[in-house]
Chains A and B, each alone.
Chain A
Amino acid sequence: MTEYTDIIDLIDKKDSKGLEELYNVYGSRFYAYAINKWHLSEDEAWDIVYKTLETLVLKLSNYKFESKARFEGFLFKVLVNFLRQYFRAKRSQNEGDIEFVDLNTNDEIPYYISKHIHKNAFAEYYKTEIVENPTLIMLNEALNQLEKPDKELLLLRAQNYSYEEIAVLLKIDNNQLKVKHHRAKQKLLNIINENQNK
């Protein structure tokens, strides 16, 4: 794989190979991520990837990336910025067709999250990018009280990673991961309930 410093050097020298490598190493994966994990259309994913790479090209002279982690951190933030915009726009367009439900609850999880998070909280977020809903803030706080593996599992699953992919990414056994996910949700909802009763 081409080093990030080589990519930066080539782009600095206006060599088109730098852009090709930037696309091959990062752009192609961003494209797959936007389509697979966020269910965006090919055109939407194209726009997001283009805007992300364009921002890097435009901003390259303003930043000094001291490590690969900083370079990739920059790209990650720009990518998620655009992803957020498209996600919100898409949800806003389809808002009338969306029904928010508790898909994964059963008797083991007595605290139904939809009782706490009203769809208006999402509607507000899609339209204004403002998160002031107390339940979303409360959920965020409860998430931070979870053990790291449980938190990671919940966030990855919410991004539509399969259990197999999660096992590879988190370097854990795939066995019983579905059950672990279910239990992580239960723990989260229990924390919310406890926090509410304090």
Chain B
Amino acid sequence: MNTPNKIDTLDEALRVIFLESAKETDTINPEQEMNQILSSANVVMSDTKKNLMLEKLNAVSTSLSFGQLLQKTIVDLSTTEVVIAEKSSLPVDIIENLKNDSIYTNNVPIKLFKNLVSFLNISFKSVEESVRKTFEILQSPAVTKNDSFSGFSPAFRKGYYTSRESLTKNTPSTDGKELFENKESLEKYLSRLNELMNS
């Protein structure tokens, strides 16, 4: 349709509209879109690339997040969030948030976090791996503003409609991000934690 250098203006505008409308749960019909996408199947990924992808996904899938590690350790040690909170001097709700992977671990005061992992007797290596996974979970793009995914609720379904709002939002992708929500901050936190745990 388009040569490499000549792009149809109207088609390009329609592509932008399509990409933007997909941000809103109620402006497109993902079921129909998915049917269209799943009809594409005449390019095959090489076995090498496919295996690499599956290996990497497997590593992500099998590693524990800090929340999962915390849950497992609580069961293993037959302890409770209240006891852990007392021993680490962290509030119970922070322990709950950590258990649910709903906060960045590097947002927890480092000495209290060190108290927590020391009390639970978790090695730095295990902590480091799990903290990195929690970081990845929290960094991966949120699909909806809320945790519940309700775009398909029939009562609110608008079908194939693109709202004006979906094309006029002007929110930077970094909106709401705090200082500690970046790799550099995470690395510094882990480095300091390593020092504290080995001192």
Residue of B53, B144, B173 most packed against chain A (CB within 10 A)? B53
B25 contacts A73, CB within 8 Å?
yes
A20 within 8 A of partner (CB): yes
B125 within 8 A of partner (CB): no
* Residue ID in chain B nearest A30 by CB atoms: B37
A20 contacts B12, CB within 8 Å?
no
A70 within 8 A of partner (CB): yes
B49 contacts A159, CB within 8 Å?
no
Contacts of A135 on B, CB cut-off 8 Å?
13
CB of A80 to closest CB in B, whole Å? 4
B10 contacts A50, CB within 8 Å?
no
A-B interface pairs (CB < 8 A), number? 225
A54 contacts B140, CB within 8 Å?
yes
Contacts of A69 on B, CB cut-off 8 Å?
30-31, 152
CB of B128 to closest CB in A, whole Å? 17
**Interface residue tally for chain B (C-beta within 8 Å):** 68
CB of A184 to closest CB in B, whole Å? 11
A73 contacts B31, CB within 8 Å?
yes
B residues near A, CB below 8 A?
1-2, 4-20, 22-23, 25, 30-31, 33-45, 49-50, 53-54, 56-58, 60-62, 68, 101, 133, 136-137, 140-141, 143-144, 147, 149, 151-152, 160-162, 164, 167-168, 170, 173
Residue of B9, B34, B149, B170 most packed against chain A (CB within 10 A)? B9
Contacts of B23 on A, CB cut-off 8 Å?
77, 80-81
Partner of B9, one of A113, A125, A148: A113
Contacts of B141 on A, CB cut-off 8 Å?
55, 78, 81
Contacts of A100 on B, CB cut-off 8 Å?
6-9, 12
Partner of A14, one of B15, B53, B61: B61
B56 contacts A63, CB within 8 Å?
no
Contacts of A65 on B, CB cut-off 8 Å?
149
CB of A198 to closest CB in B, whole Å? 16
0/1 interface trace, chain A 55-77, chain B, CB 8 Å (1 if under): 10111011101010110111111
Contacts of B68 on A, CB cut-off 8 Å?
61
A16 within 8 A of partner (CB): yes
**Chain B interface mostly:** helix
Contacts of A61 on B, CB cut-off 8 Å?
68, 101
Q: How far is the CA of A157 from the CA of B164 in the complex (A)?
A: 22
Residue of B39, B61, B141, B170 most packed against chain A (CB within 10 A)? B61
Contacts of B54 on A, CB cut-off 8 Å?
16, 19-20, 23
**Interface residue tally for chain A (C-beta within 8 Å):** 94
Q: How far is the CA of A125 from the CA of B168 in the complex (A)?
A: 12
Contacts of A45 on B, CB cut-off 8 Å?
43
CB of A21 to closest CB in B, whole Å? 11
Interface contacts beyond A73-B31, A140-B164: sample of 19 additional A-B pairs, CB < 8 Å, sorted by A: A33-B37, A53-B57, A57-B57, A62-B137, A69-B30, A74-B143, A76-B34, A77-B25, A77-B143, A80-B22, A81-B141, A97-B4, A98-B7, A100-B8, A113-B10, A117-B9, A119-B9, A156-B36, A158-B14
Also in contact, A75 and B11, with CB within 8 A (given A50-B57, A131-B16): no
Partner of B57, one of A19, A46, A77, A114: A19
Contacts of A101 on B, CB cut-off 8 Å?
6-9
B41 contacts A29, CB within 8 Å?
yes
Contacts of B149 on A, CB cut-off 8 Å?
63, 65, 70, 73-74
CB of B19 to closest CB in A, whole Å? 5
A187 within 8 A of partner (CB): no
Contacts of A122 on B, CB cut-off 8 Å?
12-13, 16
